[in-house]
Amino acid sequence: MLKSKISHQNISHQHTSPSTYSETRRKKASSSSNSNSQFLNPNFMEVSRLALPISDKSFFSPSIRHSSANPLPALPSFFAVSVSKSRLRSLRRKCYCSASSRDTLLAGGGEAAVVSAGKKEEEQGDLKSWMHKHGLPPCKVVLNERPWHHDTHKPIHYVAASEDLQAGDVAFSVPNSLVVTLERVLGNETIAELLTTNKLSELACLALYLMYEKKQGKKSFWYPYIRELDRQRGRGQMAVESPLLWSDSELAYLTGSPTKVEVLQRAEGIKREYNELDTVWFMAGSLFQQYPYDIPTEAFSYEIFKQAFVAVQSCVVHLQKVSLARRFALVPLGPPLLAYRSNCKAMLTAVDGAVELVVDRPYKAGDPIVVWCGPQPNSKLLLNYGFIDEDNSYDRLVVEAALNTEDPQYQDKRMVAQRNGKLSIQVFHVYTGKEREAVLDMLPYLRLGYVSDPSEMQSVISSQGPVCPVSPCMERAVLEQLADYFMTRLAGYPTTLAEDESMLTDDNLNPKKRVATQLVRLEKRMLHACLQATNDFIDQLPDLSVSPCPAPYAPLLK
């Protein structure tokens, strides 16, 4: 187990007196207007297109990073623990860096700005050229463009085959010198594991680093990659950002879907991580030394941090068979330039000194390259990457059932449920195409909740397997409760399945509304299939005239 506190020996800060610290902050404040104006200039490395501000910077390497000629000394280690929380609160009240302005994030450039930016990009060279210059070996991919529905934003790029490929070919191999991991950002694997175990997620730490790197502009080694991620603006393969960046009116597209609740809960989690940034920044020696005295929550507003977090979330690759500090990686030529697909088995893989992609299918020159996104349902694909996969065999709904705690026989029923691999609050997954099997899986648990006679309960306790005595009236009660549950969920959507189908035939449908409608349509299809299976079981009852049994302590469904 990692300890929850860091010893002084683990933080490599030089000693600085409080007076030196105060004087340095005064000097920094007097010069902040110049540095911030450069950072906020719409023509300066496209800061106005900051939809992906963070992921761009996460490729930090202490050995190649450009730093100032006279870096300020770091604070003593005790400051990280004794001062960070109390003093920083007062500092945050005094001022926010200009970078927290919302204009920094969403300022539009217009068509002329897009053309001008495009010419500058051609003059400076693209991402792939920069990678070849810094160690990328010859590869079999090229960056192509996909049109964007909004005139004020540039088309997004995607990785395509530069020649015909066969299954088993290595499309590209990115050297570790062009890959950013938490170990690299924080400079110490132990510190990386400690921080992410006790304070922040890996994504939050990468996001914090990227925000600071973003402010370095062209001085950053990673400028070409940052510029590419800015161009993508956090847009996935359907040119849509994660719902975490949608407005309230746009989130209304998801009304009735559990995904809307997930979005709000994830946003709350990001806010909690934002509130921990100052403490973690002082704990991380490498971050502290690279950006002395630039307190995170003073330098960046929550909105900027959230955009950065979402950018990292949409780009990060989860590597297998590596240390914890290297498992989350940002890989140029990886997502979002690579498209995700649920039925693909190709993955970015860590090999000796590099991260490579071996394709799992043949490609013609010009075909977009796809990779596997893991066994994620569409709700997670939308939340994490901003897209929906219509052919996702991993798509699922969740049905939560719970034994009634007011039931006098609750403890006995809980014991029986546990004996059969279930919990007192049990989550059932309904997979697309397997709705009937899911209903069958729920029925024994629900029947258990309906047992009321103590003698019947003793029979259940002594039996082997999830067997409950089932009378026709009990079975009808169970099935009717389940049918009512599915109908209630369907009624929670503002539109019907037929209306969704009609809406998706409109070629001019807003992209965010389109992906949201695709999601709720797939959810409704699964709910309708569950309802149909339940009604089929009701029709198979031996006597349809039997009324449902009373259920004073029926199980709860949500």
Token readout for 557 is 């469904």
What CA–CA distances, in Å, run from 210 to 53, 92, 205? Answer: 7, 21, 9
Write the DSSP string, 475-489. Answer: HHHHHHHHHHHHHHH
Token readout for 389 is 């996969």
Cα–Cα distance measured from residue 254 to residue 512, given in angstroms and rounded to the nearest whole number: 10
Asked whether residue 111 carries a pLDDT value surpassing 60, the answer given is: no
Domain parsing of the chain, residue ranges: 177-385, 396-557
| Residues 205 and 185: beta-carbon distance below 8 Å | yes
What is the band of 38 on the pLDDT scale with cuts at 50, 70, 90? very low
Asked whether residue 248 carries a pLDDT value surpassing 70, the answer given is: yes
Cα–Cα distance measured from residue 40 to residue 42, given in angstroms and rounded to the nearest whole number: 6
What is the β-pairing status of strands 348-351 and 396-402? Answer: unpaired
Mean pLDDT of the chain: 76
Q: Is CATH 1.10.10.60 the right assignment for the domain spanning 177-385?
A: no
Kindly report the length of the chain: 558
Q: 6-34 pLDDT, tens per residue?
A: 333 333 333 333 333 334 433 433 443 33
Cα–Cα distance measured from residue 254 to residue 18, given in angstroms and rounded to the nearest whole number: 51
HEC-encoded secondary structure of 214-264: HCCHHHCCCHHHHHHHHHHCCCCCCCCCCHHHCCHHHHHHHCCCHHHHHHH
pLDDT confidence of residue 364: 97
pLDDT confidence of residue 314: 87
Cα–Cα distance measured from residue 209 to residue 305, given in angstroms and rounded to the nearest whole number: 11
| Residues 427 and 398: beta-carbon distance below 8 Å | yes
Rg (CA), the chain: 27
Instruction: Please give the order of strands across the beta sheet that includes 317-318.
Output: 180-181, 328-330, 317-318
pLDDT confidence of residue 408: 92
What is the β-pairing status of strands 170-175 and 556-557? Answer: unpaired
Which of these ranges, 227-236, 275-284, 378-387, has the smallest mean pLDDT? 227-236
pTM here is 0.75
133's enclosing H/E stretch is: helix 127-133
Which of these ranges, 153-162, 297-306, 508-517, has the smallest mean pLDDT? 153-162
| 171 three-state secondary structure | strand
Report the candidate in 550, 549, 551, 554 with the shortest Cα–Cα distance to residue 473.
549
pLDDT confidence of residue 12: 33
Tell which wins on pLDDT, 471 or 80: 471
Q: 63-76 pLDDT, tens per residue?
A: 333 333 333 222 22
**Domain range 396-557, CATH architecture:** Alpha-Beta Complex (3.90)
Cα–Cα distance measured from residue 91 to residue 302, given in angstroms and rounded to the nearest whole number: 16
Tell which wins on pLDDT, 36 or 388: 388
pLDDT confidence of residue 239: 65
